[in-house]
């Protein structure tokens, strides 16, 4: 509801819906609005002003990612449903004639989980895979770092990343690897949430998760003169850890994605600090103990603050892990087995916070103007 729509200077669902209907190109998938013009934006504003768009919360559905659109023009009416994935159409109908109906299979697919994956397998792959098969991950460093640097030159969102580089903030926070990790990560998020025409590399369908899994690792590696191979392997370790956790959490949850993404970057930083698998498990446990329960209340400019909370904890967790200090199995939801600890986190996010998800959505859609 509060995300900037690229190329419009506007935020929220109404302008996104209007432009998707008027000028969207489905061939571009998630870049559906890539070719919109200023004329399209003006026409979209007119559609909004005429109250031709009605957005409501769908009740009594199990899917976390669900979009149902009903459009009418004269005597014609069409319905389309996306579910399970941001570009996954599961139902299409025109004037009562069903053209596509895969709703049951989409729900089943969303609940699938590969029980064979483990943090150990993620670690072993990241450290042993041939470099020429994984060096594409450097694109995430290039794209997401460019987004952060663009944000420093403009005024996007809450400008948290830019503010952290100002003299006043530096007198409080200092100028260190740690503060540069915070400024780059929050800066890229500032730009993305404000709708800047700047691409970022995502993780598990989320640009912010891609940013949080990438930039803390990149900044730490560059500031400590790590080799190209070390950066590649640290980034793969970070991103695959996020994918592994998201596998049992699901695409969308009331649990803030920065918890998951920052857990990945904490693993990458631990590796760059010289840690091995044991230290990485400590970092994960420290992250789960600290950030579990942070709610997601929608994508918006203030996500930059949550990302900053997540990646600051990622650094602290890695530092503690390198001292062989971690939250133990007698504390809270942490277990001796790191994979069970991860699944405790994802159970809370995927099951325990379902009512939280419904309540958050209800609050968001019924706020006073």
Q: Cα separation of 2 and 268, whole Å?
A: 31
Question: What Å distances lie between residue 317 and 268, 342, 346, 363, CA to CA?
Answer: 11, 15, 19, 33
Q: Cα separation of 70 and 353, whole Å?
A: 29
pLDDT at 369: 66
pLDDT at 115: 62
User: What one-character-per-residue DSSP string does 180-249 give?
Assistant: HHHHHHHHHHHHHHTT-S-----BTTBHHHHHHHHHHHHHHHHHTT--HHHHHHHHHHHHHHHHHHHHHH
List beta partners, residue 255: 295
Give the helix/strand (H/E) hosting 94: strand 89-94
Radius of gyration of the chain (CA): 21
Within the chain, where are the H helices?
A: 13-23, 38-49, 103-110, 119-128, 131-134, 138-153, 160-163, 167-173, 177-193, 207-223, 228-249, 257-272, 277-291, 303-322, 338-347, 354-365
Domain boundaries, the chain: 4-110, 119-365
Q: Which residue has the tokens 């419009």?
A: 8
CATH fold of 119-365: 2-methylcitrate dehydratase PrpD (1.10.4100)
Sign of the CA dihedral with 281 first, then 286, 288, and 291 last:
negative
Q: Cα separation of 360 and 354, whole Å?
A: 10
Q: Cα separation of 95 and 329, whole Å?
A: 58
Are 106 and 87 within 8 A, CB to CB?
no
Q: Which residue has the tokens 């060096």?
A: 135
Are 253 and 110 within 8 A, CB to CB?
no
Are 84 and 109 within 8 A, CB to CB?
yes
Cβ neighbors of 304 (< 8 A, separation 6 or more) are: 157, 158, 160, 161, 186, 187, 189, 190, 193
Q: Cα separation of 355 and 341, whole Å?
A: 22
Return phi, psi of residue 112, to 5°. -70, 145
Q: What is the pLDDT along the chain (369 residues), one digit of tens a residue?
A: 678 888 888 888 899 999 999 999 999 988 889 889 999 999 999 999 999 999 888 888 877 788 999 999 999 999 999 988 888 899 999 999 999 999 874 444 444 455 689 999 999 999 999 999 999 999 999 999 999 999 999 999 999 999 999 988 888 988 999 999 999 999 999 999 998 888 899 998 889 999 999 999 999 999 999 999 999 999 999 999 999 999 988 777 889 988 889 999 999 999 999 999 999 999 999 999 999 989 999 889 999 999 999 999 999 999 999 999 999 999 999 999 999 999 999 999 988 988 898 888 888 888 876
Q: Which residue has the tokens 């004037």?
A: 95
pLDDT at 126: 98
pLDDT at 197: 84
- For residue 136, what are its two tokens? 């594409």
């Amino acid at each position: 509801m509060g995300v900037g729509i690229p190329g419009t200077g506007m935020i929220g669902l109404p302008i996104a819906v209007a432009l998707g209907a008027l000028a969207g190109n489905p061939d571009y998938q998630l870049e559906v609005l890539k070719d919109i013009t200023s004329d399209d934006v003006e026409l979209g504003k007119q559609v909004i002003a005429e109250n031709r768009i009605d957005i409501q919360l769908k009740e009594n559905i199990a899917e976390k990612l669900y979009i149902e659109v009903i459009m009418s023009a004269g005597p014609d009416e069409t319905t389309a449903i996306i579910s399970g994935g941001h570009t996954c159409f599961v139902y299409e109908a025109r004037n009562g004639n069903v053209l596509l109906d895969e709703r049951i299979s989409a729900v089943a697919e969303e609940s699938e989980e590969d029980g064979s994956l483990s943090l150990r397998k993620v670690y072993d792959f990241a450290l042993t895979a041939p470099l020429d098969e994984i060096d594409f991950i450097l694109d995430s460093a290039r794209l997401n770092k460019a987004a952060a640097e663009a944000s420093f030159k403009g005024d996007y969102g809450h400008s948290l990343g830019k503010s952290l580089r100002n003299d006043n903030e530096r007198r409080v926070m200092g100028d260190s690897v740690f503060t540069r990790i915070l400024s780059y990560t929050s800066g890229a998020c500032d730009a993305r949430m404000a709708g800047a025409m700047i691409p970022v590399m995502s993780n598990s369908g989320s640009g912010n998760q891609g940013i949080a899994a990438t930039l803390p690792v990149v900044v730490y590696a560059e500031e400590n003169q790590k080799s190209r191979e070390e950066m590649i392997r640290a980034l793969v370790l970070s991103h695959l850890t996020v994918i592994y956790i998201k596998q049992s959490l699901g695409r969308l949850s009331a649990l803030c994605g920065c918890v998951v993404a920052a857990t990945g970057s904490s693993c990458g930083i631990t590796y760059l600090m010289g840690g091995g698998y044991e230290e990485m498990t400590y970092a994960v446990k420290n992250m789960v103990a600290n950030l579990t329960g942070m709610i997601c209340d929608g994508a918006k400019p203030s996500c930059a603050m949550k990302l900053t909370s997540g990646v600051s904890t990622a650094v602290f967790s890695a530092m503690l892990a390198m001292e062989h200090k971690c939250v133990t199995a007698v504390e809270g939801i942490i277990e001796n087995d790191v994979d069970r600890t991860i699944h405790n986190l994802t159970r809370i996010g995927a099951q325990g916070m379902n009512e939280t998800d419904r309540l958050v959505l209800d609050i968001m859609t019924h706020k006073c103007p």
